[in-house]
Amino acid sequence: MEALIAPVSHLRFDIESALEQQTGAQPLPFAGMDKSTAGVCVFYSIGSCDKSQYCPFRHVRGDRTVVCKHWLRGLCKKGDQCEFLHEYDMTKMPECYFFARFNACHNKECPFLHIDPESKIRDCPWYDRGFCRHGAACRHRHVRRVLCMDYVAGFCANGSGCKFVHPRFELPQLDKNVEGVAKPRLVCHHCGELGHKITHCFKLAPEIRVQMQYSEHARFTPSGAPPATESQTPSNPAFPKERGPLRPLEEVTCYKCHAKGHYANRCTKGNLAFLSNPMVGIRQDVQENVQS
């Protein structure tokens, strides 16, 4: 009754205009400050905010669907540039790592989402088309349905409301990000193990291994350049480091086992080899000095 007798819809206060126009809003002193308790910027939603990172209001985007796990701990430094939500919404929390990995979470007050693994499996597009070559080993779900014979013949009067399935005959698109594709790995031709070449196989003798590294490096090195081992190869080929010629292996003394003929990083006796006979290398050096 009051709305009919004395309507106030035509009245507009100055504070309403000031809030809409953000009158008096001062920019932030530093970029990336926490604005979780501030309001939403009206001008950012229409693309006309000129304060960028110094705006005192929140810049909310519609493409953010997951809450930032670092913001929950107060450690997110991206501010408005973060690609995740900076608001506490239980329906948009990240997935629980333990429930996704081990299918069990013992935290009764876990704030993260527990998603059923069966719900992540989508229907196989090839099986829905009629045939899947993977069979029971397919990583997608195979659901048996009854085909509509009228649709297969050419026309179904029920349309989308038919209780039977209308198959799709176009070829499904191949998934470029296939998780089950195995990446090629290096295989050692000496021991047959994965993960290293024969030039870095520790089951070879140190002398043979170093000699093979020299020969491999010589294939990719210009003539006249000194050879280099793996530890002396520059990490950035655009800025090579100049190194002098290497000493022959007969003059090299391993500081781990005090034996000559190999470097310490190629020693096969372990880090505690010096405890077995620590005076071997010292005696050899003393004898050489006496003879000289």
Domain contains 93: no
**DSSP three-state, residue 138:** coil
- pLDDT class for 22, splitting at 50, 70, 90? confident
Average pLDDT value for residue range 188-203: 77
Residue 62's domain is classified under what CATH number?
A: 4.10.1000
Domain contains 196: no
Residue after which a domain boundary falls, among 111, 132, 161: 161
State the residue range of the domain holding 254.
202-220+248-292
- DSSP annotation of 249: G
Exposure letters 124-147 (e unless 16+ CB within 10 A, then b): bebbbeeebeeeeeeebeeeeeee
Average pLDDT, the chain: 75
Encode pLDDT of 35-58 as tens digits: 777 777 877 777 778 777 778 887
> What are the beta bridge partners of residue 147?
165
CA distances from 25 to 42, 46, 50, 51, 207 (A): 12, 18, 12, 10, 74
The total of structural domains in the chain comes to 3
Domain contains 114: no
Report how far residue 45's alpha carbon sits from residue 61's, in angstroms, rounded to the nearest whole number. 8
Encode pLDDT of 120-171 as tens digits: 788 888 888 878 888 888 888 898 888 889 888 889 998 888 989 888 777 7
**Domain match, 284 and 212 both:** yes
Q: What angle do CA 179, 191, 196 make, to 5 degrees?
A: 50
Hey, what's the torsion of the CAs at 87, 88, 89, 94, to 10 degrees? 90
Question: Number of C-alpha atoms within 13 angstroms, CB side, residue 229?
Answer: 16
Query: pTM of the entire structure?
Result: 0.36
Q: Check whether 1 has a pLDDT greater than 80.
A: no
